[in-house]
Amino acid sequence: MKAVETALLNTVSVPERQRVAASFSRCASSYDSHAGVQQRVAEDLLSKVTLLPGESLLDIGCGTGRHTHSLARRGGVVQGLDIAPGMLAYASERYPEVTFHQGHAEALPFASQSFDQLFSSMALQWCQSPLTVMHEMQRVLKKGGRASLAIMVDGSFEELDRARRVAGMVVTTNPQASYSQWCDAAATAGLTLKEAQLVAYVDAHADLLSLLRSIKHTGAGVTAAEGTRLSRQDLKKLSMTYQSLHGQNNCLPLTYNIAQLIVEK
């Protein structure tokens, strides 16, 4: 068994970061079974990664370690990084041959020019500053290194947000940076955009409860209004509103807007 290596967290926005880490820790055992869209996004990104034998790669926001393990099987020297202790414990138990670290993307606990490649799928949207993230990636990448990124951006969950507004309820979606902000941050940090596209992934659910649970059980339910709870009456009202506004063939759609970026140093 290997040890989980721990790095000190940045003091900036520590309470918020701890809240996100706690949420993801709680859903570690349920994450993979509910992360349908997240898996599709990751598989698309993985298809863009070519890892040569012996190349070093860091999976930032590795979660349960599923994709870290997949990358390691390609023959590289692959490590995982996540802020959530529960995720790291789960990943370490499942994949003891992989080294995992606790830390976050805005203060990567590694020396400059440590990695040939970086990989991150559906994690960086939790960061406070896209520019800080890109500067850190530029720092730890070796010259000629590459980062393959999939980042949830603003406009995601638009159907849910609209239904809440029409139903007279508080919108609880986390604020997120835009596609252009991430692209601009990469360029400002001195990274070259080799590929950049905005892709909409649409998840479909049979009912509102299924839709809300898909968010909750992947840790994405952390919001500024986390304490807000819907009564049975509110749930019924929101369900009817959502169905009226967005219902398609007895399904409720939920859109994830994803920035797919390949950047090089």
Is residue 249 assigned to a domain? no
Q: pLDDT (tens digit, 9 = 90+) per residue, 59-82?
A: 999 999 999 999 999 989 999 999
The pTM of this model reads 0.86
Q: What is the pLDDT of residues 171-224, one digit of tens each?
A: 888 888 999 999 999 999 999 999 999 999 999 999 998 888 888 765 554 454
User: Binning pLDDT at 50, 70 and 90, where does residue 36 land?
Assistant: confident
Sign of CA dihedral 163, 169, 175, 177: positive
The pLDDT of residue 27: 58
235, part of any domain: no
> Is 84 a domain residue?
yes
* Residue 75: CATH number of its domain: 3.40.50.150
Answer whether residue 163 is part of any domain.
Answer: no
- 68 in any annotated domain: yes
Assess whether pLDDT exceeds 90 at residue 114. Answer: yes
- Asked if the structure places residue 165 within a domain, the reply is no
The rounded mean pLDDT for the chain is 86
- 81 inside domain: yes
Give yes or no for a contact between 141 and 118, defined as CB atoms under 8 angstroms apart.
yes
Amino acid at 205: H
Residue range of the domain that includes 11:
5-156+176-202+258-264
pLDDT of residue 67: 94
Q: Give the count of domains, the chain.
A: 1
- The arithmetic mean of pLDDT across residues 2-10, rounded, is 31
Q: Which of 11-15, 35-39, 189-193 has the lowest mean pLDDT?
A: 11-15
DSSP states of 87-139 as a string?
HHHHHHHH-TTSEEEE--GGG-SS-TT-EEEEEEES-GGG-S-HHHHHHHHHH
